Chain A
Amino acid sequence: MTEATAAPAPQALRPPRSQWRDVWDQFRTHKGALAGLSVFIFILLFVLVGPLIWRISPTASPTDALTLIRSKNMGPSWAHPLGTDQLARDLLARMMAGGKISIAVGLTAMSLSIFLGTLVGVLAGYFKRLDGPLMRLTDLFLALPLLPLLLVMMLLFRDPIASRLGVEAGTFLLIVSAIGITSWMQCARIVRGEVLALKEREFVLAAKSIGTPPRRMILRHILPNIMSPIMVAATLGIANAIITESALSFLGLGFPPDFPTWGRLLNDAVDLMQETPGLVIFPGIAISLTVLSVNYIGDGLRDALDPRIRGR
């Protein structure tokens, strides 16, 4: 008879919570990060869904000279909520088109730099023989003057690559790879440190003792455990890439004028800022808001992914 009383199911135990649920709960307590996330989602919607609603072409310009002169450099109106530029093109549509390119550059360049950084970091941290040479390479890259080199690379390779792959694809590829190969060093250093610490842990020893080959070791045991610093580096990498791209475009060495990016719009408008400050202000605000929101997301992620803070 006693067995029946000992049997009740352990209802007091709560259902298991996944790690990402915990991370999300901690992330929600960071007000700045939540605001940043909503602003970033809004900007993404503006850029991706916006052109479906606002159907004016970003490159459409009136064909006859009279309408062009009458409708250029206008202030905000119902027909053009943000006004028009020096060729009477609609600024709202150009902002959407430009944002798409700017954010695409940011995301792709970030992926490339994170991929390179993780690769170098894991190889240097896991294989002792590669550590010295790879870290010297990282130090060498850190000592390069990056902005001047980026400018030189853009100037020297823009036209040959553009003539081979087409203007838009060529410039995009060049900018993304130039930013990617000049910004992986921080990520590599962080990842190497994490891998070195992880290699001393018991579960790695256990996996090694049952004969796990290095490839599976890295992919199954090491990489999942260093995801959090990589994610933080990735968010901050987006901000960095967007700023670098717009700086290049601002200096006139990014995308050609027909492909509006936010930096390019800003560059085109600087000469006209006395008459139409709106042309300068709106792209600038778009860049700053995007970068600010991404930085806040990174800040919140860093807190949320740190188990020492999450416990509190």
Chain B
Amino acid sequence: MLTFTIRRLILSIPVLLLISLIIFLLLNFAPGDPLANQPLTIPPEVRAKMREALGLGAPVYVRYILWLKQFFWVEPLHAFDWAFGTHFSAGMERILSWQFRSPVFDVIVQRIPQTLTVVGMSYLIGVLIAIPIGILSAYRQYSWFDQIGTFISMIGFSVPTFFTGVVLIVVFSVELNWFPSIYDTNLKVVDWPSFVKQVQQMAMPVMVLALYNAAQISRFMRASMLDNLQQDYVRTARAKGMGERVVVLTHVLRNSLIPVVTVIALGVPSIFGGAIITEQVFKVNGLGQLLITAIYADDIPMVQTLTFIFAVLIVVFNLVADILYGLLDPRIRYD
């Protein structure tokens, strides 16, 4: 198991390098000028100086290697310094955002809490809803509960999140006036009223994403339960005189959760991608919204770094899913 993990970790290094190269080349060879939205009155020599200042003067491979060094060496060092109060990274140049004129990672660190509270909470709630629904609709297959569950989950992954979000805004904040339609990031939770406010403003984005996640996970849960309910060991357990509760909740559920856990792990990075749209709808200033504004502002270092972070998340959670599968299912051995 350990050798498998180490081998996979080593193998993911070239994959990540290749992905970073693809993203870098896509961004740098694209037609388009990062200075295009500067005023036309800037004289050409000043414009050349500005390009120089942005680091655009060097050849592409130098810039790529510099970015790699900054991402994999300078930024971790800086994080280490920040955590332990040392000064290893003093004088080293960090990745600078062109639109904020400050290090990319400082901005990202400011944005992460919003994304994590909204997205993380919605994923958690989605999983908590999906698992009981999946169990019940598999146990009573083709009952009215199962039919309705199937229909709702079909709606859940057919209706795009930007439409559910907009409908919720129309219903709950325009008509009923229950929840605010814009997420207020400055709100600090200190006492009960501010906590209620926070819950209110999180309710709609969380609902949208939770419905979408629950739709997918409950389908997997149902299919996995159905597979296991027909196995011989279930009949044996019943023949031994065990109660339905024990058979379903202990024997079947534990075995059915194995593939579902890996699906849940695999879904984590795509959640960050899906949140791009939801954050845009509800004006949550998290990572997704940061990416969109950076794309519009031609802020290439920011786009490059964020996209690469998304790629790292995908690779890492693929690895996590594989390892979990090996840990949970004794039939799977990576030797």
Judge whether A291 and B170 touch: CB under 8 Å.
Answer: no
Q: How far is the CB of A151 from chain B (nearest CB, A)?
A: 6
Tier of interface size on chain B: 35 or more
Contact mask A229-269 → B, CB, 8 Å, 1/0? 00000000001000100110011010000000000001000
B15 touches A284 (CB 8 A): no
Are A160 and B27 in touch, CB under 8 angstroms?
no
Q: With A143-B15, A280-B170 in contact, do A288 and B158 touch (Cβ < 8 Å)? A: yes
Tell me, yes or no, whether B130 is within 8 Å of chain A by CB.
no
Judged by a CB distance under 8 angstroms, whether B189 is at the interface is: no
**Considering the chains assembled together, what is the distance between the CA atoms of A273 and B291 in angstroms?**
25
Q: A250-B162, A274-B174 are in contact. Are A143 and B273 (CB under 8 A)?
A: no
Contact A273 B166, beta carbon cutoff 8 Å: yes
The residues of B that contact A147 with a CB separation of less than 8 Å are: 273-274, 276
Task: Tell me whether B167 is interfacial, beta carbon within 8 Å.
Answer: yes
| Chain A, interface SS category | helix
Given the known interface contacts A152-B307, A155-B295, A288-B159, the answer about A146 and B166 at a Cβ–Cβ threshold of 8 Å is no
Q: Does A6 contact B (CB under 8 A)?
A: no
B19: chain A residues within 8 A (beta carbon): 140, 143-144
Within 8 A of A (CB), among B148-181: 154-155, 157-160, 162-163, 166-167, 169-170, 174
| Interface membership of A120, Cβ < 8 A | no
| List of B residues within 8 angstroms of A292 by Cβ | 154-155, 158-159
Q: In the bound complex, do residue A160 and residue B310 qualify as a contact, i.e. CB atoms below 8 Å apart?
A: no
Interface of B is mostly: helix
Is B311 located at the chain interface by the 8 A CB criterion?
Answer: yes
Q: Are the C-beta atoms of A284 and B163 separated by less than 8 Å?
A: yes
Please pick, from B31, B162, B281, B307, the residue contacting A149 in the complex, using a CB distance under 8 A: B307
Chain B residues with CB below 8 A from A239, complex form? 158
- Would A251 and B174 count as touching, CB distance under 8 A? no
- Tell me, yes or no, whether A270 is within 8 Å of chain B by CB: yes
Measured CA separation A32–B269 after assembly (Å): 32
Closest to A295 in B: B158
Say whether A148 contacts B167, CB under 8 Å.
Answer: no
A143 touches B307 (CB 8 A): no
Say whether B280 faces chain A, with CB atoms less than 8 Å apart: yes
Give chain B nearest CB distance to A294 CB in angstroms.
8
Pair B166/A266 contact, Cβ less than 8 Å: yes
CB distance from B28 to the nearest CB of A (A): 10
Contact with A along B20-40 (1 / 0, CB 8 A): 001100110011100000000
How far, in angstroms, from A144 to B314 measured CA to CA in the complex? 8
* B203: interface (CB < 8 Å): no
Asked whether A157 and B310 contact (CB < 8 A) given A146-B273, A151-B295, A152-B295, the answer is no
B314 with A143: CB separation less than 8 A: yes
Residues of A with C-beta under 8 A to B310: 145, 148
Q: Is the beta-carbon distance between B314 and A145 smaller than 8 angstroms?
A: yes
Q: How far is the CA of A55 from the CA of B307 in the complex (A)?
A: 45
Residues of A within 8 A of B277 (CB): 247, 250-251
Is A139 in contact with chain B by the CB < 8 A criterion? yes
Interface contact B170-A273, CB-CB below 8 Å: yes
Q: Roughly how many angstroms separate A81 CA and B62 CA in the complex, as a whole number?
A: 60
Within 8 A of B (CB), among A116-162: 139-140, 142-149, 151-153, 155-157, 159-160
Question: Chain B residues with Cβ under 8 A from A205's Cβ?
Answer: none
Known contacts: A155-B296, A292-B154. The answer to whether A143 contacts B315 by CB under 8 A is yes
Give B80 Cβ to nearest chain A Cβ, in Å.
Answer: 26
Task: Tell me if B18 is interfacial: C-beta within 8 Å of chain A.
Answer: yes
Whether B174 contacts A277 by the Cβ 8 Å rule is yes
Shortest distance in angstroms between A44's beta carbon and chain B's nearest beta carbon?
A: 17
Give the chain A neighbours of B31 by CB distance below 8 A. Answer: 156-157, 159-160
* CB-based nearest B residue for A289: B158
With A148-B306, A239-B158 as contacts: A287 and B27 at CB distance below 8 Å: no
Other A-B pairs, 16, CB within 8 Å; known A143-B19, A160-B32, A266-B166: A140-B15, A142-B314, A143-B315, A145-B310, A148-B310, A151-B292, A152-B27, A155-B296, A157-B31, A253-B295, A273-B166, A280-B167, A287-B160, A291-B160, A292-B158, A299-B154
Show the binding face of B for A, using Cβ within 8 Å. 15, 18-19, 22-23, 26-27, 30-32, 154-155, 157-160, 162-163, 166-167, 169-170, 174, 269, 273-274, 276-277, 280-281, 291-292, 295-296, 303, 306-307, 310-311, 313-315, 318
- Provide a sorted-by-A list of 21 A–B residue pairs whose CB atoms are within 8 angstroms: A140-B19, A143-B315, A144-B22, A145-B307, A147-B276, A148-B273, A152-B26, A152-B27, A155-B295, A157-B31, A266-B166, A270-B166, A270-B281, A273-B169, A273-B170, A281-B170, A284-B166, A284-B167, A288-B158, A295-B154, A296-B154
Identify the 9 closest CB pairs spanning chains A and B, nearest first.
A145-B310, A156-B30, A284-B163, A292-B158, A288-B159, A291-B158, A160-B31, A147-B273, A148-B307
